[in-house]
Amino acid sequence: MILVGLTGGIGSGKSTVSQLLASHGAVIVDADAITRQLQAPGQPLLKLIAERFGNDVLDSDGSLLRQKLANQVFGNAEALADLNKIVHPAVGREMARLIDEQRAGDNVVVLDIPLLAENPRSGLSGVIVVDIDPELAVGRLVSQRGMSEQDARSRIERQTSREKRREIADWVIDNGGDLASLESQVKLVWKWMQTLEHAGPDAGNVIPPETSK
Binding site for ligand ADP (CB under 6 A): 8, 10-16, 140, 144-145, 175, 177-179, 182
Q: What is the phi/psi pair of residue 160, to 5°?
A: -65, 165
**Dihedral (Cα; 99, 100, 105, 106), 10-degree rounding:** 20
Which one, of 170, 99, 96, 103, lies nearest residue 131 by Cα? 170
- As a whole number of angstroms, the distance between CA 210 and CA 120 comes to 11
Residue 112 CB, nearest approach to ligand ADP (Å): 9
* Residue number with CB closer to ligand ADP (2 or 10): 10
Measured between alpha carbons, how far is residue 7 from residues 15, 52, 115, 142, 209 in Å?
9, 31, 7, 21, 18
* Residue number with CB closer to ligand ADP (158 or 213): 158
Residue 9 CB, nearest approach to ligand ADP (Å): 7
* Amino acid identity at 141: L
* Dihedral of alpha carbons 132, 109, 114, 50, sign: positive
* Residue number with CB closer to ligand ADP (149 or 202): 149
Residue 73 CB, nearest approach to ligand ADP (Å): 20
Residue 45 CB, nearest approach to ligand ADP (Å): 23
* Residue number with CB closer to ligand ADP (57 or 140): 140
